[in-house]
């Protein structure tokens, strides 16, 4: 066979499988470009995990803070402001606004830490030790700096950091168990945010406020676990049962009713009825089954982020 003929007979099967195989991703191999323009076939959930693993391995500096996570940060200052309002704290105080800013930055770091651990443990990506160290050190620095804002705030921020470290990092990595995810995201994190705002007041927060906040977060967390059942199964995590749909819907409805009750009883300003209305539309969309991607639902938080200035201004006495 002539040398020119040998050059023409190049195998193509390896080029098409290198980007999809888990072995290539773990080894950090680069994916060869496709020679044709035919779109790849539709992928199942486990196959999507494999493809994202390969993509992360081929990216020298993978992103540790996806844009959809940034929208979630908006709820941190809002929940803190509600906690301050309910505890009769002066919302004009510079210390409170500084605390909301510090806590929001803290959660940006904690979201990035969670994403970083996923890239390393689930996608075999090389994030870099310096970035890992920074994402662990920065939350501790922020918690220490909050001492200058309030004497009560550092303990609450450190609890947030400790919970997220246990949630994201081995050896504990609670997020491998759906029950612990529900506990952390549905109960612990929102309550700590609310208490961080209440640290600037001197009145107890009504029980209905705690119940409403927890119910809303439980509904959202259970919906997320329902949407990620196949992903969790492919990663070997404990998978939420299909029946979580019913308690999730019930928790969402009760949480929205709680907002209405607090508006009617003047616990919250009536303008929060707009939040309940937007939340109802979002809940119908989320639970309808039209959207099956968690990232798409997270981006809907831009609506609540747009309402945030109005809601914060309504809380100022």
Is pLDDT of 200 > 50? yes
Residue 190 included in any domain: yes
197: number of Cβ within 10 Å: 30
pLDDT: is 184 or 14 the higher one? Answer: 184
Domain contains 271: yes
Mean pLDDT along residues 171-179: 96
Give the model's confidence band at 32: pLDDT under 50 very low, under 70 low, under 90 confident, else very high: very low
Inside any domain, residue 221: yes
Q: Does 43 map to a domain?
A: no
| Residue 139 is assigned to a structural domain of this protein | yes
Lowest mean pLDDT among 76-80, 202-206, 305-309: 305-309
What domain range is 241 assigned to? 71-315
pLDDT band per the 50, 70, 90 thresholds, residue 63: confident
Contacts made by residues 154-160, CB under 8 angstroms, sequence distance 24+: 156/192, 156/195, 156/196, 156/199, 157/102, 157/103, 157/106, 157/196, 159/192, 160/103, 160/106, 160/107, 160/110, 160/189, 160/192
Does the residue 239 lie in any domain? yes
More confidently predicted of 235 and 311 = 235
1 in a structural domain: no
Q: Is residue 244 part of a domain?
A: yes
Number of independent structural domains in the chain? 1
Q: Does residue 316 carry a pLDDT above 80?
A: no
Does the pTM exceed 0.75?
yes
Higher confidence at residue 52 or residue 33?
Answer: 52
Q: What is the pLDDT of residues 263-307, one digit of tens each?
A: 999 999 988 888 888 889 888 888 887 777 887 777 777 777 777
Number of Cβ within 10 Å of residue 111's Cβ equals 21
């Amino acid at each position: 066979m002539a040398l020119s003929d040998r050059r023409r007979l190049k195998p193509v099967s390896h080029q098409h499988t290198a980007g999809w195989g888990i072995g290539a991703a773990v080894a950090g191999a680069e994916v060869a470009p496709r020679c044709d323009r035919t779109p790849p076939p539709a992928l199942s959930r486990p196959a999507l995990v494999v493809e994202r693993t390969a993509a992360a391995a081929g990216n020298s500096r993978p992103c540790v803070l996806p844009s959809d996570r940034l929208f979630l940060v908006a709820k941190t200052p809002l929940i803190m402001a509600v906690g301050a309002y309910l505890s009769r704290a002066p919302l004009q105080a510079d210390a409170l606004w500084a605390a909301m800013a510090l806590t929001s930055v803290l959660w940006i770091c904690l979201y990035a830490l969670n994403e970083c651990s996923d890239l390393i443990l689930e996608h075999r990506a090389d994030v870099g030790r310096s970035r890992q160290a920074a994402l662990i050190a920065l939350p501790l620095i922020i918690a220490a700096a909050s001492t200058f804002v309030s004497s009560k705030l550092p303990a609450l921020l450190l609890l947030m950091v400790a919970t997220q470290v246990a949630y994201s990092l081995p050896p504990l990595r609670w997020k491998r168990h759906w029950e612990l995810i529900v506990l952390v995201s549905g109960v612990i994190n929102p309550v700590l945010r609310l208490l961080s705002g209440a640290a600037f007041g001197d009145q107890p927060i009504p029980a209905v406020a705690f119940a409403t906040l927890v119910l809303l977060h439980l509904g959202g967390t259970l919906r997320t676990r329902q949407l990620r059942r196949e992903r969790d199964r492919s990663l070997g995590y404990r998978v939420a049962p299909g029946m979580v749909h019913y308690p999730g819907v019930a928790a969402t409805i009760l949480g929205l009713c709680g907002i209405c009750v607090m508006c009617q009883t003047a616990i919250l300003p009536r303008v929060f009825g707009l939040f309940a209305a937007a939340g109802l539309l979002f809940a119908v969309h989320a639970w309808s089954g039209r959207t099956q991607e968690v990232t798409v639902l997270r981006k809907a938080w831009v609506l609540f982020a747009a309402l945030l200035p109005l809601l914060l201004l309504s809380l100022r006495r």
